[in-house]
Amino acid sequence: EARLNMSASDLKAQHFNYWIEAPAKINLTLDIKGKRPDGYHELETMMHQITLVDRIGFRRGGQGIRLNTDSPDIPADEQNLAYKAARLLFEKFNLQEGIQIFIEKNIPVGAGLAGGSTDAAAVLTGINRLFDLGLEEKQLLELGGGLGSDVPFCLLGGTALGRGRGEILTPIKNGPKLTIVLVKPDFQISTSEVYSDFRMDRVKKFPDNEAFISAWQSCDIISVSRQLNNVLESVSIQWHPRIADIKEQLCELGALNALMSGSGPSVFGIFTRYEIARQAWAHIKQQYPQTYLVSTYKKGEKYD
Ligand code: ATP
């Protein structure tokens, strides 16, 4: 069976001859500044890419857009955000030659890790390059914003402060490299339900993004950890107290601090020492199989 799997993945590697990594994001802070006339919430959030990546394979040729995936958890048709990204460019540029796209899904779905958005961003980037469309970053960001609020950040990458719906981005350079244990408990949370249940007056403490950025740029991991704060925990933890249990468990196992990402349910802890993080990961994995030992994503850097 191992040999069969091997040859299947070899075939895949040969067939899709151009691959792009699509990293997950976590929110190091997430603040809500109010509700907008259009129904969206006004956000202020520090977003950060990590080394948990989907891999998107491409092959030019055939007719139209064909999408495949190894994941039973996401749609393999027009519903997929990556498909919508491809269609957007195909219609805009009236592309005649077809494309085949493969999503190797490693990012848990509905986890608060922007899995769909990062696949869509990778498809925009991939098709732009493969078909020589000549789109510049600014144009890609604008097209991405039409697909989803998190897509522009996924295009930009790294670490950035997002305002508005998350699409008004300020890159934050020169930060530390984090060692992270990320836990995805075995339930999903609907982002839209969390936002619609959010009440300002139920938040105990709001993030201080200015303090966060200054800690970040001093590469002071201890201060950074103290500034982790996500106002959506006030909703998600109410629904799922297990999120608070996992945070506590991460801290007991040596994390400086732990936080829920996005609207949840993923929780991450920040560690100073790799070996302690590895032990925490091994321990929590027994209870939560979708536990990952990851770090800050750097473009072009090799990692396991
Ligand atoms: P966010 O952090 O942006 O709220 P998330 O990580 O909570 O995102 P996703 O993993 O992006 O959530 O999935 C949300 C929904 O989008 C799922 O119901 C899923 O079926 C759908 N979806 C469509 N395309 C994709 C894709 N390529 N990858 C993941 N989910 C997708």
ipTM associated with this complex: 0.93
Question: Concatenated DSSP letters for 167-216?
Answer: TEEEE--S-PPPEEEEE--S----HHHHHHH--GGG-S----HHHHHHHH
Question: Which has the closest alpha carbon to 188: 87, 74, 101?
Answer: 74
Measured distance between the N- and C-terminal CA atoms of the chain, rounded to whole angstroms: 24
Q: Is the CB of 110 under 6 A from ligand 1?
A: yes
- Distance from chain centroid for Cα 163: 17
3-state secondary structure of 129: helix
Question: Which has the closest alpha carbon to 85: 35, 36, 125, 30?
Answer: 125
CATH number of 2-171: 3.30.230.10
pLDDT for position 17: 87
Q: Is the CB of 104 under 6 A from ligand 1?
A: no
pLDDT for position 4: 57
Residue spans of the domains in the chain: they are 2-171, 179-295
Q: Whose CA is nearest to atom 15 of ligand 1?
A: 110
Q: Is the CB of 114 under 6 A from ligand 1?
A: yes
pLDDT for position 1: 47
pLDDT for position 9: 75
**Which residues contribute to the annotated binding site for ATP?**
108-118
Topology alike, domains 2-171 and 179-295: no
Which amino acid is present at 182? L
CATH number of 179-295: 3.30.70.890
pLDDT for position 35: 85
Per-residue pLDDT of the chain (304 residues; tens, 9 = 90+): 455 565 677 777 778 889 999 999 999 999 999 888 888 889 999 999 999 999 999 999 999 999 999 999 999 999 999 999 999 999 999 999 999 999 999 999 999 999 999 999 999 999 999 999 999 999 999 999 999 999 999 999 999 999 999 999 999 999 999 999 999 999 989 999 999 999 999 999 999 999 999 999 999 999 999 999 999 999 999 999 999 999 999 999 999 999 999 999 999 999 999 999 999 999 999 999 999 999 999 986 655 4
